[in-house]
Amino acid sequence: MSFASLSLIDPLLRTLEELGYDTPTPVQKQAIPAVLAGRDLLAAAQTGTGKTAGFALPLLQRLTMDPAQAGAHAVRCLVLVPTRELAEQVYESFRKYGGKLPLRSYVAYGGVPMEPQIAKLRKGLDVLVATPGRLLDLHRQGALLLDQLQTLVLDEADRMLDLGFSRDLDAVFAAVPKARQTLLFSATFSDAIRGMAAGLLRDPLSIQASPRNTTAKAVRQHVITTDKKSKPELFLHLLRQRGWGQVMVFVKTRKGTDQLVATLQAAGVSADAIHGDKPQPARLRALERFKAGQVQILAATDVAARGLDIQALPLVVNFDLPTVAEDYVHRIGRTGRAGAEGEAISLVCADEVELLRAIETLIRQVLPRTEEDGFEADHRVPSTGTPTAQAGGKPRSGAAKQGKSGATARPAQGAAGANGKSTRPAQPRPASPAAAPARDKSFPARPARSQPGGVARSQAGTGALPQGKVVMAAGRGAKSAAKAAAKSASKAGGRPPKR
């Protein structure tokens, strides 16, 4: 199927030919005819599959074919997006696709002066791409009128809810005409978004161009386990040892992003950052430098997880796992775009295991794990399932393995090793706690289970305690309780106290 078969007008077809667009993607094949027909749409597709063109091309055609003109301060098509970076990208797409059409478009978001945006709105616009907060600021000041709106597009609406835009969205919905076309596009749709769509859309066509919450098959994904404190050094090690080129690395916090950039720069690596504390011009400048190849590492918080279209980005690294599992899908969607191959590596420490489990549950696969020599985790990352394969690096074996201290490491009781086969080997019960064998630091000892009266059950088994011996109980007052129990045992002729 060609774009010409989708009934697009000649100026759009010539533009697509110049851009090298030959064949529409699956989401475009389904969305373009529906939008041209005026249908409401609920569309989900993997990031990087051409969602923006799926709604931009038919909307530009409808606006061109409609003789109506936008009045002063009015807009005919409004596209709402969650972040400034995505707003810039979507706006640029409309400008690129509509380059041969007599239409006016602009972008509005916070963090920059409002006056240029107000000036653009004075004559009216055919297309406005905006973030919810700045849109409402313009509307409340009377610089933007919404009574002539024909089409409302919500791009990445689930992210808008995640960022706390729920009230802003309600205010927008109350201000726009009820008789309108509404389009919802996203890579993922939460149940909350589907519930919202039920109240906004009229007889919508639902498009599921790919299974819900799936990652692109072209992206190879795996986990490297380590300790939190070792992550910066491990990242530098991987960067040099594996000869990485350009890398986009995601960090959980703004402070952590700046710290990583400072560490990289101190090591002589060119790096820049994008996060919410940076002024918008600085964020755009960092992105442009990265796209131009002037910066090797771009560190970002999840503000950059959606909408950044970076051509031929080979690798994404999750320095920290996201707190919202869906953001993992969007993060790794920065690579492997438009059918190209990509790689996504996550550096995971023990306190992120529940975040990892949530991600694996969402994407319905267990990510293979590896370790790097010299960066093995002192605090073992518990198993979340049986990995299907090991990818690169040094895989952790489920069989006995020599740890840092020279002691034999053992998988956690009741859980399979990384190869899904090994279980805890039987261990002889020590004669006393002091004689217990050394444990590999990667499998920290479990605290003893408390018993009434401060006496604890031995870790090595559930039998009676050796006479005259007391194992310390964990918890408040454990030391005093143990002393009292020892004293009582001594008075009873060496026998443990009866309960």
Digit-coded pLDDT (tens) for 410-461: 333 333 443 333 333 444 444 433 433 343 433 344 344 343 333 333 333 3
Residue 137: left (phi > 0), alpha (psi -120 to 50), or beta?
alpha
Which of residues 308 and 234 earns the better pLDDT score?
234
Residue 15 above 60 pLDDT? yes
Averaged pLDDT, 113-133 = 96
- Residue 215: pLDDT over 60: no
Highest mean pLDDT out of 179-183, 313-317, 464-468: 179-183
Of the two residues 404 and 485, the one the predictor is more confident about is 485
| Best CA proximity match to 205, nearest among 44, 72, 64 | 44
pLDDT at 241 over 50: yes
User: Rounded to 10 degrees, what is the CA torsion of 120, 121, 127, 132?
Assistant: 110
Distances (CA, A) of 468 to 459, 472, 481: 17, 13, 15
- The answer on pLDDT for 498 being more than 50 is no
Tell me how crowded residue 196 is: count the other CB atoms within 10 A of its CB.
21
Confidence at residue 267, expressed as pLDDT on a 0 to 100 scale: 95
**pLDDT at residue 339, as a whole number:** 58
Query: Quick check: 234 pLDDT over 70?
Result: yes
Which pLDDT does position 260 carry in this prediction? 96
Look at residue 83 and tell me whether its pLDDT is greater than 90: no
Which domains are delineated in the chain? 3-208 (3.40.50.300), 219-409 (3.40.50.300), 445-458+467-499 (no CATH)
List, edge to edge, every strand of the sheet that includes 315-318: 271-274, 297-300, 247-250, 315-318, 342-348, 219-225, 369-370
**Residue 21 structure tokens:** 């667009």
Residue 28 is predicted with a pLDDT of 92
Closest to 472 in 3D by CA, of 461, 462, 463, 481: 481
Is 388 a residue whose pLDDT tops 50?
A: no
Q: How far are the Cα atoms of 372, 382, 410 from residue 413, in angstroms, in the given order?
A: 24, 11, 8
Contact, 341 vs 223, CB < 8 A? no
What pLDDT does residue 156 have? Answer: 82
**Given this model, what pLDDT does residue 298 score?**
94
Q: Residue 485 pLDDT more than 70?
A: no
The pLDDT-based confidence of 57 (bands split at 50, 70, 90) is very high
What is the predicted pLDDT for the residue at 307? Answer: 55
Distance between CA atoms of residues 278 and 90, nearest Å = 21
Of 404 and 157, more confident:
157
pLDDT higher than threshold 90 for residue 12: yes
Residues 6+ apart with CB under 8 A from 178: none
Which positions ≥6 away from 292 have C-beta within 8 Å? none
Structure tokens at 241: 């040892």
Least confident range from 67-81, 85-99, 111-125, 409-423: namely 409-423
Instruction: Report the alpha-carbon distance of residue 14 to residue 18 in Å, rounded.
Output: 6
User: What value does the CA radius of gyration of the chain take, rounded to a whole number of Å?
Assistant: 29
Residue 233 has pLDDT above 60, yes or no: yes
Could you tell me what percent of the chain has a pLDDT over 70?
71
Smallest CA-to-CA distance from 309 within 329, 289, 335, 328 is with: 335
Res 263 pLDDT > 70: yes
Higher pLDDT, 163 or 95: 95
Residue 334 has pLDDT above 80, yes or no: no
**Confidence grade of residue 187 (pLDDT, cut at 50, 70, 90):** low
Q: How far apart (Å, rounded) are the C-alpha atoms in residues 481 and 406?
A: 35
pLDDT for the residue 308: 65
337, amino acid identity: R
The mean of the pLDDT values for the chain is 78
pLDDT at 53 over 80: yes
pTM: 0.60
Mean pLDDT of 324-350: 82
> What is the distance, to the nearest Å, from the Cα of residue 362 to the centroid of all Cα atoms in its chain?
12
pLDDT over 70 (residue 95): yes
pLDDT of residue 325: 87
- pLDDT of 272 higher than 70: yes
For the chain, first and last CA: distance in Å?
81
Residue 63 has pLDDT above 60, yes or no: yes
Q: What does the alpha-carbon distance between residue 440 and residue 405 come to, in Å, rounded to a whole number?
A: 6
Burial of residue 428 (CB within 10 Å: 0-12, 13-18, 19+) is exposed
> SS3 string of the chain?
CCHHHHCCCHHHHHHHHHHCCCCCCHHHHHHHHHHHCCCCEEEECCCCCCHHHHHHHHHHHHHHHCCCCCCCCEEEEEEECCCHHHHHHHHHHHHHHCCCCCCCEEEECCCCCCHHHHHHHCCCEEEEEECHHHHHHHHHCCCCECCCCCEEEEECHHHHHHCCCHHHHHHHHHHCCCCCEEEEEECCCCHHHHHHHHHHCCCCEEEECCCCCCCCCCEEEEEEECCHHHHHHHHHHHHHHCCCCCEEEECCCHHHHHHHHHHHHHCCCCEEEECCCCCHHHHHHHHHHHHCCCCCEEEECHHHCCCCCCCCCCEEEECCCCCCHHHHHHHHCCCCHHHCCEEEEEEECHHHHHHHHHHHHHHCCCCCEEECCCCCCCCCCCCCCCCCCCCCCECCCCCCEECCCCCEECCCCCCCCCCCCCCCCCCCCCCCHHHCCCCCCCCCCCCCEECHHHCEECCCCCCCCCCCCCCCCCCCCHHHHHHHHHHHHHHCCCCCCCC
What is the mean pLDDT of the segment spanning 194-206? 86
- Please say if the pLDDT value at position 379 is more than 60: yes
Distance CA 375, CA 312 (A): 30
Q: What's the mean pLDDT in 247-259?
A: 93
| Alpha-carbon span 231 to 257, nearest angstrom | 13
Identify the band that residue 101 occupies on the pLDDT scale cut at 50, 70 and 90.
Answer: very high
Among candidate residues 166, 160, 130, the one with its CA nearest the CA of residue 146: 130
Residue 413: per-residue pLDDT: 38
Please say if the pLDDT value at position 268 is more than 80.
Answer: yes
Name the token pair of 330: 């969007």
Mean per-residue pLDDT for 344-369?
A: 93
Phi, psi of 136 (to 5 degrees): -70, -35
